[in-house]
Amino acid sequence: MFKKWVRRVSLSTTRGFVESSPTHDKPQDSYGGGIDVAGTTTPKPSSSATAIKTKTVAEVDETGSSKVPSSRSSSYDNGIDYDALYEEEEEMDLSMEAHGSMITHLLSQVKIGMDLTKVVLPTFILERRSLLEMYADYFAHPDLFIKISELDDPRDRIVQVCRWYLSAYHAGRKSAVAKKPYNPILGEVFQCHWDIPGETQNEPEVKDGPVPWCRRDQLTFLAEQVSHHPPISAFYAEHYNKKITFTAHVWTKSKFLGLSIGVHNIGEGVVTLVDRSEEYIVTFPNGYGRSILTVPWIELGGSVEIKCPQTGYYANVEFLTKPFYGGKRNKVTAEIYSPNDKKPFVSIAGEWSGLMEAKWHDKNKTEVFVDVNRIPIFKKQVRPIVEQDEYESRRVWKEVTAGLKFNDIERATNAKFVVEQQQRDQAKVRKEYDLAWEHKHFKPVGDNWIYTKPLSQRMYLQEKEAKR
């Protein structure tokens, strides 16, 4: 009997996510990477929490095999279209001045330079989506990304990598008002894809790809929270027909800076052109939440490097923070170099949220490099919540999202407590019985996290099989 119970616990703690009603009245400790965002008081079961559906752990027989419950929560439940909650634009009237007492209480807990990993922030500042979903915004212009693979000149390719990269940040910041996405739980997954204009729709599905129901002519995206302490997210994108992929991992470290909050993004991403055996390694800027006592806003800052070891082309990018007096927000500069050159062949300057211009030194010519407000944002396609697995982002956070949408902070806080308490309980059991967490789609390689089935590896195996 004891062995059977351990098998049940092992299944739920290493794979399954179980939703249940809050059962603990002890004070809530934070459970999130980076900045934790829970309510400032301990949530307790209420009528608001009844909207959260309960599920049971998969039954496990004596042989250790599981019987997964067949029922799933509906995308449309309790009179709410949960899918629509994630698609609607958020209201932009947030002001910390309306919540002065909560912010004052928060500031009394922190000191300048303090790590904010375990600091509790109020629920009302949450954005209605997970951090994993926000990373998908790097591909809001998928046409710019896949064009990298279509260019024959390595100089043109490094320029196109920079054009895609510099245009990748504005879509994730939907307004001037700063809100924080949900901290992903360990093992959380987000999947989506983009349709590319002009592509045919009769291509076969990529069954062994990151999003197995998608076609070869679609750009697919998969993200997983691979670590909780420290908080590390890994994500991967590919376009099968264009033979281009992107894999990345980001570890966020947050600190209180007085009137602002700084988020240091540690990690790197790699664009891979499979047919050319070519890689472009990129790093990420830091983020800052400014004016947290009034109307908070986000800016990016720091140095970024983009380099191709195979061709020798590289670029240096500077995200410039706004001076205390005067100056503009969201300024960025970049310089792109040919191999072994000490002077750039092109310099780029402007705003990552608007117009950027390129000055070509070898042509003595200045032109628009990219204007993100004049190019279309492609809407990502996400399968309905009713079809999602237990650990997929929108299903995990749907009740928190509903509470925030309808301005029911008690409901959102209760729902968030359910998610986080389940994580705490599972972590406790894993520690007690020395159970290792099983990652789903990524594996650690040194300091990096690598997708377990990249396109380059799958194509190599296909070619090897074809030669037999």
What is the per-residue pLDDT across 173-191, written as a single tens digit (0 to 9) for each? 665 566 788 999 999 999 9
Is residue 371's pLDDT more than 50?
yes
CA distance 24 to 417: 10
Least confident among 155-169, 316-330, 435-449:
316-330
Q: Transcribe 193-246 into DSSP letters.
A: EEEPTT--S-PPB-TTSSSTTSBTTEEEEEEEEEETTTTEEEEEEEETTTTEEE
What is the per-residue pLDDT across 410-452, written as a single tens digit (0 to 9) for each? 899 899 999 999 999 999 999 999 999 999 999 999 989 999 9
Per-residue buried b or exposed e for 105-126, using 16+ beta carbons within 10 Å of the residue's own CB: ebeeeeeeeeebbebbbbbbbb
User: Token digits for 99?
Assistant: 């919540």
Predicted pLDDT of residue 172? 72
Q: Which residue has the tokens 């739980």?
A: 185
CB 116 within 8 A of CB 35: yes
CA distance 263 to 251: 10
Segments in 2-153 forming alpha helices (H): 2-14, 82-87, 100-107, 131-135, 142-146
Instruction: Report, as an integer, the average pLDDT of 384-393.
Output: 95
Is residue 226's pLDDT more than 80?
yes
CB 425 within 8 A of CB 415: no
Query: What is the signed CA dihedral for 15, 191, 224, 440, rounded to 10 degrees?
Result: 40
Query: First-to-last CA distance in the chain?
Result: 50
Is residue 384's pLDDT more than 70?
yes
Is residue 198's pLDDT more than 60?
yes
CB atoms within 10 A of CB 468: 4
CB 59 within 8 A of CB 66: yes
Residue type, 451: Y
Which range of 57-71, 73-87, 189-203 scores highest in mean pLDDT? It is 189-203
Give the contacts of 433 (CB within 8 A, at least 6 positions apart): 6, 9, 10
Residue type, 267: G
CA distance 198 to 218: 11
**Strand ranges inside 283-354, DSSP E:** 286-290, 297-307, 314-320, 331-337, 346-351
**β-bridge mates for residue 238, sequence order:** 220, 245
CA distance 239 to 168: 17
CB 189 within 8 A of CB 131: no
CB 322 within 8 A of CB 328: yes
pLDDT, the chain, mean: 80
- In the three-class reduction of DSSP (H, G, I as helix; E, B as strand; rest coil), residue 247 is classed as strand
Predicted pLDDT of residue 114? 59
Q: Are strands 365-371 and 189-195 parallel, antiparallel or unpaired?
A: unpaired
Is residue 87's pLDDT more than 90?
no
Pairwise pLDDT comparison (458 vs 295), residue with the higher score: 458
CB atoms within 10 A of CB 280: 27
CA distance 433 to 137: 39
pLDDT grade, residue 68 (50/70/90)? very low
137, 193, 274, 276 from 242: Cα distances, Å: 20, 15, 9, 11
Long-range contacts of 462-466 (CB under 8 A, 24+ apart): none
CA distance 80 to 411: 14
Half-sphere exposure of 172 (CA within 13 A, CB side): 22
